[in-house]
Each structure stands twice: as structure tokens, then as C-alpha cells.
């Protein structure tokens, strides 16, 4: 089937589709006729697609090609919703993504669970399609020592991974290979805060750090930095277009339209991730606006007790005490009743494996608690100690655990145990 290149073609494809009436029923229920759906001025009025709709609809009922034309089936991790989402994929002729991001890196060590689980073969295709042809080396994200040995044997010069895995991999690369041989670090799937970027830059001193963005629903990375952005060490993105036909920001939330995968086309799909336009164009010459991520709601930011907790601020506060906590810590927030009303309770979980052997848990807890009380600024002019003194927060609780209360394939730094208003 020929590629769909315009939004009217896409809307006609889903409305008249002989295999699925998923979108037709959705739009008719919202009062649209085919004629109204195809009017360009009405596109922004079409009801957005949300993940819950895909989860609640059996995959075969939202399949827009013949069953024999399904090339593979992927699924999301279910990290955010707790419910994996199954996505059918038809053949995709061109992914348009250059895994080298314009650098001279050519051998990419892939230590990336979502790629290994679902999209390894499509990433191979992207590497071979790219102007700068490169070779992916799929390593073992469950055995980072082996991954470092593999990197040494093939002389890898780039790594594609998650930020937290990059930190753990670095010590093995230092022992079995050479961190200075790595020219490019491609990270995704977790928020790359300034604190994490600083750590990565120290561990891989010669590497450009590329923060890229994609999701399993699209099946690839589609936001990426140019050389200028990497040189400036900024977390800005260009939009890869195609495969993204249209990018919208609705109250800050990223809403995308994509027809690259005809088995499961996405029309006005709400990603749950939040961005902002920071520049109308980039001096590198790439057309289109420049975006920056402002966070994933309830993952990168929580609002409790009238205070917004941001993961970037938390990691900045913990940077000076990583010698005590390591990078394996997780913050849990609760609303608790007291005689004076609701208070915010904070529990800091630290993996026991990260604890320095020369210090006792009580000594470490005391040092962490003092640091947080005096240095964590919850609002202008208000430290955590001020909030405790005023009775809106309790003293934080420090726990050393064998594993986090919330287990996830991706690092979850903030966990809210309350209903956000």
C-alpha cells in the first residue's frame, strides 16, 4: 500500500477502512460526518485519542490492514498505567532517523530494554537506512559486565541506553574498555535532568550526550537534538517529520498524528508527556520549532500540599550527597492526617547495595536528613525545614531497602500515594 503523506489521506483511510471502524465510530459518536472530518478547519476539533481507548479495545478491532500484513507485534511496558498496551505494526519502509545523530560514531552498543524487547530489528533497519550507515551491537542489559566486554571486543564508539543503565555500565566500561572511546551516548525513556547529564559527562568525557524521545505507540525515536544542541548540552529537540505528520501542544501536552504504521495509525494521540516551544527555529537550519520537555505528569512532577515537586529539583538536591545515597534512591509522598490537619510525609528509599560500607545506616540517615532539611527549597524562601516547622510537612523518613516499593523497568524517582487535585 502506498505511503500516506497528508492528513486528509489519513482521515479517508481510517473512515473508509474495510478492516476497522475504530475511528469512524469514535468520530460519529462525537457528531462528525465524513465530510466534516475531512475539512481541514475541523482537524483540531476531532476528539483526541487516549491510551485508555487503545487499551480497552482489542487489538484486532483497531487493526487497519489485513492480518497477514502485520509484520510484528509490540507492547508497552505498562510502567505508567500498570497495563501493557499491545500495538500491531505493518511494514515501515523508512524510519527517517539517523542513530548517529550526525556524528562520526559508527558502532552503537545497544543496552536499551525497550529496543531489545520490541524494536531491535527496526533499529537495525534505521542504522542501515541512515545517511551515516552504522552498526548496532545488541548487548545484555541484564548483564552489564558482559556488555562492557562486548563493547571492548567490537570497539564500540557509541552507546544507546537509559540514563540509569548508563551510570551502572560506566564502571564496567572503565574496567574492561575505555570510557574515552565512547563518542556518543544516546539516552531515552527516562528524564535526563541536568544532574544526570553532569554525571554522564564525567563518566564519558569525550561523548556527546543526545537526549532523544519516542514511544512504543509510534515504535521509534522521533524527537532528537542537532549537533548544536548537543554541543550546548541543552535538552532541546527537533521534530522528525516524517514520520510525525503533525505535532500539537494542547495545554502543554504533546499530541501527535502519525501514519507511518498503517496497522495502527495514530490521530491526535495524547502522549501524556508535556513540552513547550522554546524557539521558533534553530540556527542549524533544520525547519520547524524547537521543543523542550517540561515533564511527564505524575512521574516527573507531583503536586502535594500546595507544593510542586519536580524530579529535576530533587536530583539537584541529591547531587552533593550521592556519595551517601548512590544513584539508587526513590522518594515516596503521602498525605497523612494529624491534629493540625493534613501533612505531607516523605519517605526516601535507598537501595542497600548503594550504601557506603564504611558508614552505618543511622549516620547516613542523619547526614541525609540534615542536608534535605536545610537545602531543599520547596518554594521561594521556604526550605523543607521551614515547612516542617510550620507543620505542613513531617520530618522525612529514610529507609534502606533491598528493592524499591515501586518496581519498574524505568527509574521512577518520584512516587505519589495520593489523589492529585
Above 70 in pLDDT, residue 80? no
- pLDDT, average across residues 28-56: 96
| CA–CA separation, 28 and 130 (whole Å) | 41
Sheet with 236-239, side-by-side order of all strands: 213-215, 220-224, 236-239, 290-296, 266-279, 253-258, 244-250
Query: pLDDT at position 275, please?
Result: 94
pLDDT in tens, 294-319: 877 778 888 898 898 989 899 999 99
To the nearest whole number, what is the mean pLDDT of the chain? Answer: 93
Judging by beta carbons within 10 Å of its beta carbon (0-12, 13-18, 19+), is residue 18 exposed, middle or buried?
exposed
Domain ranges of the chain: 301-417
DSSP state at residue 297: B
Q: Which run of H or E residues covers position 370?
A: helix 361-375
- pLDDT, average across residues 365-374: 95
Instruction: Provide the CATH topology of domain 301-417.
Output: GMP Synthetase; Chain A, domain 3 (3.30.300)
Radius of gyration over every alpha carbon of the chain, rounded to an integer in angstroms: 23
pLDDT-derived band at 349 (thresholds 50, 70, 90) equals very high
pLDDT in tens, 135-173: 999 999 999 999 999 999 999 999 999 998 999 999 999
Whose cell is 475511528? That residue is: 23
The pTM (predicted TM-score) of the whole model is 0.84
- Which alpha helices (H) appear in 106-244, and where do they start and end? 113-114, 120-129, 144-154, 163-176, 194-203, 227-231
- pLDDT, average across residues 201-230: 96
| CA–CA separation, 182 and 327 (whole Å) | 22
Q: What is the DSSP string of 67-128?
A: GGGEEEEEE---TTTSS--EEEEE--S-----TTTTSS--EEEEE-HHIIIIIHHHHHHHHH
- Output the furthest CA–CA distance in the chain (Å, rounded): 72
Whose cell is 491510551? That residue is: 51
Q: What is the DSSP string of 205-221?
A: TT-EEEE-EEETTTTEE
Residue 35: how many other CB atoms lie within 10 Å = 8
Q: Are strands 220-224 and 236-239 parallel, antiparallel or unpaired?
A: antiparallel
Q: How far is CA 7 from CA 251, 256, 408, in A?
A: 22, 12, 36
The pLDDT > 70 percentage for the chain reads 97
| CA–CA separation, 31 and 213 (whole Å) | 34
- pLDDT, average across residues 220-238: 95
DSSP state at residue 6: S
Query: pLDDT at position 1, please?
Result: 65
Amino acid at each position: 500500500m502506498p505511503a500516506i503523506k497528508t492528513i486528509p489521506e489519513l482521515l479517508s483511510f481510517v473512515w473508509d477502512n474495510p478492516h476497522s471502524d475504530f475511528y469512524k465510530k469514535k468520530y460519529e459518536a462525537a457528531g462528525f460526518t465524513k465530510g466534516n472530518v475531512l475539512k481541514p478547519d475541523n482537524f483540531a476539533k476531532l476528539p483526541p485519542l487516549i491510551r485508555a481507548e487503545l487499551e480497552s479495545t482489542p487489538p484486532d478491532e483497531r487493526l487497519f490492514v489485513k492480518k497477514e500484513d502485520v509484520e510484528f507485534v509490540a507492547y508497552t511496558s505498562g510502567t505508567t498505567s500498570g497495563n501493557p498496551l499491545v500495538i500491531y505494526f505493518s511494514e515501515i519502509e523508512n524510519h527517517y532517523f539517523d542513530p548517529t545523530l550526525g556524528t562520526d560514531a559508527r558502532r552503537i552498543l545497544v543496552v536499551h530494554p525497550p529496543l531489545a524487547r520490541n524494536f531491535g530489528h527496526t533499529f537495525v533497519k534505521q542504522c542501515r537506512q541512515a545517511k551515516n550507515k552504522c552498526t548496532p551491537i545488541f548487548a545484555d542489559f541484564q548483564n552489564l559486565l558482559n556488555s562492557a566486554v562486548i563493547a571492548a571486543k567490537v570497539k564500540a564508539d557509541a552507546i544507546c541506553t537509559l540514563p540509569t543503565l548508563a551510570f551502572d555500565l560506566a564502571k564496567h566500561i572503565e574496567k574492561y574498555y575505555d570510557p574515552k572511546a565512547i563518542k556518543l551516548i544516546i539516552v531515552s525513556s527516562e528524564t535526563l535532568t541536568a544532574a544526570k547529564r553532569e554525571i554522564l559527562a564525567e563518566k564519558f568525557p569525550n561523548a556527546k550526550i543526545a537526549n532523544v524521545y519516542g514511544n512504543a505507540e509510534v515504535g521509534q525515536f522521533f524527537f532528537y537534538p542537532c549537533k548544536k544542541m548537543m554541543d550546548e548540552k541543552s535538552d532541546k529537540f527537533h521534530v522528525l517529520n516524517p514520520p510525525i505528520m503533525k505535532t500539537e501542544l494542547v495545554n502543554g501536552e504533546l499530541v501527535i498524528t502519525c501514519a507511518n504504521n498503517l496497522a495502527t495509525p495514530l490521530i491526535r494521540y495524547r502522549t501524556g508527556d508535556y513540552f513547550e516551544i522554546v524557539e521558533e527555529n534553530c540556527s542549524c537550519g533544520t525547519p520547524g520549532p524547537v521543543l523542550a520537555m517540561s515533564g511527564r505528569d505524575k512521574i516527573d512532577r507531583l503536586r502535594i500540599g500546595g507544593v510542586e515537586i519536580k524530579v529535576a529539583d530533587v536530583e539537584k538536591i541529591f547531587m552533593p550527597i550521592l556519595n551517601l545515597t548512590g544513584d539508587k534512591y526513590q522518594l515516596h509522598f503521602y498525605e497523612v492526617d494529624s491534629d493540625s490537619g493534613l501533612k505531607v510525609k516523605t519517605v526516601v528509599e535507598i537501595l542497600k547495595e548503594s550504601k557506603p560500607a564504611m558508614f552505618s545506616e543511622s549516620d547516613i540517615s542523619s547526614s541525609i536528613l540534615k542536608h534535605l532539611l536545610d537545602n531543599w527549597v520547596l518554594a521561594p524562601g521556604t526550605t523543607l525545614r521551614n515547612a516542617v516547622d510550620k507543620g505542613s510537612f513531617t520530618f522525612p523518613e529514610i529507609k534502606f531497602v533491598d528493592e524499591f516499593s515501586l518496581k519498574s523497568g524505568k527509574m521512577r524517582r518520584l512516587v505519589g500515594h495520593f489523589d492529585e487535585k
